[in-house]
């Protein structure tokens, strides 16, 4: 009788360790934007949250110098691994193994900042553009 529960329990634990992981949340611009999760500041540039769990919806906001530059709503999805875990856990995994994507990118509006401007975006003076010098 103990062996009957040991195999499904072992498979469940293996799947749960596979399901453990984090989701990276970043902005689509290379700036030091503050990232807010459900209105609470979590960090700058990149944060990580638990990937698997119960169905859940989150609100992400990116702010730069106090100004909101991007918003995004994301929810955990039902995937094939959720179904597989649910099969081996007698349905428990159907409620506890929903997943966020590996990376969530918050779309942001373009900001004018010296921190954001790339050297490729700034005009450079070329020696070919100079007027000829008289001797």
DSSP 30-82: SS--EEEETTEEEEESEEEEE-EES--EEEEEEEETTEEEEEEEEE-B--HHH
Q: How far apart are CA 119 and CA 55, in angstroms?
A: 44
* Residue range of the domain that includes 55: 2-105
Residue 115 lies in a domain: no
pLDDT tens digits, one per residue of 13-61:
665 555 568 899 998 877 788 999 999 999 988 899 998 889 999 999 9
Residue 58 lies in a domain: yes
Residue 41 lies in a domain: yes
Residue 110 lies in a domain: no
Residue 16 lies in a domain: yes
| Terminal alpha carbon distance of the chain | 103
Residue 82 lies in a domain: yes
pTM above 0.75, yes or no: no
Q: How far apart are CA 116 and CA 30, in angstroms?
A: 7
Rounded to 10 deg, the angle between the 80-88 and 2-19 helix axes is: 160
Handedness of CA 8, 14, 15, 17 (dihedral sign): positive
Task: Report the SS3 class of residue 27.
Answer: strand
pLDDT tens digits, one per residue of 57-101:
999 999 988 889 999 999 999 988 888 888 878 888 888 888 999
Residue 132 lies in a domain: no
Q: Backbone phi, then psi, for 122, in 5-degree steps?
A: -90, 135
Q: Once rounded to an integer, what is the mean pLDDT over residues 112-128?
A: 61
Residue 76 lies in a domain: yes
Q: How many domains does the chain have?
A: 1
């Amino acid at each position: 009788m103990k062996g009957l529960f040991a195999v499904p329990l072992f498979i469940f634990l293996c799947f749960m360790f596979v399901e453990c992981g984090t989701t990276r949340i970043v902005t689509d611009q290379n700036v030091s934007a503050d990232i807010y999760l459900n209105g609470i500041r979590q960090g700058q540039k990149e944060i990580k949250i638990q990937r698997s769990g119960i169905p859940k919806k989150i609100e992400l906001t990116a702010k730069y110098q106090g100004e909101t530059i991007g918003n995004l709503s994301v929810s955990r999805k039902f995937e094939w691994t959720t179904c597989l875990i649910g099969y081996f856990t007698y349905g428990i995994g159907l409620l506890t193994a929903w997943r966020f994507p590996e990376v969530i990118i918050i779309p942001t509006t373009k900001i004018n900042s010296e921190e954001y401007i790339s050297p490729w975006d700034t005009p450079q003076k070329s020696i070919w553009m100079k007027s000829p010098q008289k001797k």
